Amino acid sequence: MNISTEMQVSDDEARRRAKRRERNRVAAAKCRQRRQDQIEELQHRVDALTRTGQELRSSLHSLDLERARLESLVEEHKVS
């Protein structure tokens, strides 16, 4: 190989490396964006499930109060 050929090879190699770095940079950005999107989606699910849990606890409390009221009525009728 002469100097011109060696320079051409190193230029070609430099271009290939630059292209590979650019592809890797784009792929890494896409990966980070997908991960961020996934985190946001999971956070929305956590928020929705938290709200559902709170609503269910509230319903349970109301039902417990209603059950106690009805049991009290049943006891009143047993006594009379």
* This prediction's pTM: 0.66
DSSP for residue 58: H
Average pLDDT over residues 33-51: 99
Find where tokens 């961020």 sit. 36
Distance, in Å, from the CA atom of 19 to the CA atom of 37, rounded to the nearest integer, reads 27
CB-based contacts of 1, cutoff 8 Å, min separation 6: 9
Q: What was the pLDDT predicted at 11?
A: 87
Cβ atoms 9, 1 nearer than 8 A: yes
